Structure 1
């Protein structure tokens, strides 16, 4: 090998060795989708997502009408997006051997989302949160749904047949969540439903017949194609999303 090429190769190897591990790893991978799903990066570039597409910090993911997407993250977290929904990956830091660096922040901008939390939330629940326009959701090892309505939930209704009011609707299928607003915080446990009208009022518990459970199609509940078994499995979603 010529000396110049050898020097260049060694420089690349040394640079890669010094680069932070989290900078080399992508945040998540699309494992299932149906319909049209887009990702907009922080620099404004937009791309169409397919199965095995990767997503990263700063990306805004958006589903169109009649479209679903399931995204899996390295720690085993699964996010299933409903039609006409948008989420932003504000932060995702996870290293299996460095729990002190854990940090996950997702933002539900509009629409609905079902979440199965992974290893990060189990070992560092205070380092995981979901932001919404009306409240912030903290978790304690959880399977839960969130639906935010802003004059865009036509066709969605409670088991009693009532249309969904504007605000945040939540349901918990496993574990617990803590919802916080400017007025305070409330805990919601397995089997409970909640509602937050706006960011300046307390979250309230509501009876099941007035609650809304976020649902996803069978397509999003099959065997995950991405690596990382054991946490956030397809069966976990199937138990609560039918």
Structure 2
């Protein structure tokens, strides 16, 4: 009888070991750590589960991160790169791999589907530029060892509606057109400041459509949909089906969609990035040799 019990116990332990080994083998690659957080941050997993993250939670390859309203989240990756997400942002860690002694295995590809972020390059972005990038619905951003801010406004968001209302107001006052009116459109400038209003639709079509919907009131500070970039240090390359453009430190850029070439704009087109003062990246050593994971404490709960 004692022999049977021992055998059952051994079999159970063996089966449990196999299960744990299987779970470990299929676990996603740890990519980094949530360093600062001031509100809800969700991580949707490939299997459909959703984790509510906290400061010092780990993030993994394949995680789809979503910040709620008013939430900023700063994430430090294994290669000491950083990404700080703005409120109401949707960001995915597509592929991430970093080993200090194996640069041939480097990978750092991300996607921004909505919202904005500030990125600081780390080791991968400096030594393996060809395997680093950020995809957006309007263009792909190639990293050249840099610090940059990017924001994508999707069609149909509040800013777009506000921009449309401003266009309607421009039919009578406030804006004037200059230059060639290609495809029925025109380049628009603000009559007060002289700033260029980026064109995403032929002006005539936009006005006709919005007037038909009865939208008539202007809203200050409105922006058209598309991708906005600002380079603080280094250089990025923005490319899509319409073309490619390099942006260096101090420059701003814009592209409306995948078909429109990225262009340099003369001044800040409305990019704002104001995380809480506590969100400081001064402790970051971009390109350093640290593993980037601080406090392996994965504080989270799971939502099904």
Larger Rg: 1 or 2?
2
Question: Matches of 2:116 and 2:124 in 1, distance apart?
Answer: 22
Q: Is the 8 A contact 1:77 1:116 kept in 2?
A: yes
- Cα displacement (A) at 1:127: 0.9
Structure 1 residue 184: deviation in Å? Answer: 1.5
Q: Report the CA distance between 1:198 and its aligned residue.
A: 0.4
1:82 equivalenced with 2:86 (yes/no) = yes
| Residue 59 (structure 1) shift | 0.7
Secondary structure of 2:101's counterpart equals: coil
Supply the distance in 2 between the matched residues of 1:36 and 1:189 (Cα, whole angstroms). 34
Give TM-score, length-normalised by structure 1.
0.80
Equivalent residue, structure 2, for 1:207: 266
Displacement of 1:222:
6.0
Change (3 A) 1:201 1:128: same
| Counterpart in the other structure of 1:238 | none
1:57 Cα deviation from its structure 2 partner: 1.1
Number of aligned pairs? 218
Trace 1:87-98 onto structure 2 (pairs within 5 A). Answer: 87-98=91-102
2:285 alignment counterpart: 230
- Give the TM-score normalised by the residue count of structure 2: 0.64
Structural RMSD (CA): 3.0
Q: How does 1:31-50 map to 2 (within 5 A)?
A: 31-50=35-54
For 2:260, what is the secondary structure of its paired residue? coil
Provide the residue aligned with 2:112 in structure 1: 108
Structure 2 counterpart of 1:135: 139
One of 212, 219, 222 as aligned partner of 1:163 = 222
> Within 2, Cα distance between the matches of 1:128 and 1:79?
13
Query: Residue 144 in 1 paired to residue 148 in 2?
Result: yes
- Aligned partners of 1:166, 1:181: CA distance in 2, in Å? 16
Cα separation, partners in 2 of 1:154 and 1:100, compared to 1, 3 Å? same
Deviations 1:71-90 (A, max 9, x none): 11010110100000010010
Q: 2:278 and 2:252 mapped to 1: Cα distance?
A: 25
| Alpha-carbon distance change, 72 to 122 in structure 1, aligned in 2, over 3 angstroms | same
Give the corresponding residue for 1:60: 64
Distance 1:196 1:55, change over 3 A: same
